[in-house]
Amino acid sequence: MAVSEEEVRRIALLARLEVDQAEVEGLQKHFNDILAHFHDLRNVDLGELQPGEGERKTVCPLREDSIENWDGRESALEEAPSREGDFFITPRIIGGEPDEVS
């Protein structure tokens, strides 16, 4: 299945990556090459796999609910490319807020 130019641009925007025309064409080719290789996956026989077989064997350990203070807060803020006092700064946000948590 061939990937269209439009599709490449949609994916690029989703990933917040700018792509110029030459890059779009190069990526189309790359995607199509990769997809051809992915076809080999369909030949793998999944039929013998039982539920739960071959899954990662780890169980998540849980952490005790206690407060740990970190002393690197100032160093972290110092690394901010744009900082105002205690805040990280972003430029103007256009287009409203996405459907996020609050």
> Least distance (Å) from another protein to the CB of residue 5?
13
Of residues 41-100, those binding another protein (CB under 8 A): 41-46, 49, 53-56, 58-70, 72-73, 75-77, 79-82, 84-100
31 burial (CB, 10 Å; 0-12 / 13-18 / 19+) is middle
> Least distance (Å) from another protein to the CB of residue 45?
8
Q: How many CA atoms lie within 13 A of 73 on its CB side?
A: 7
Q: Three-state DSSP class for 76?
A: helix
- Which of 2, 5, 31, 32 forms a contact with another protein (CB under 8 A)? 31
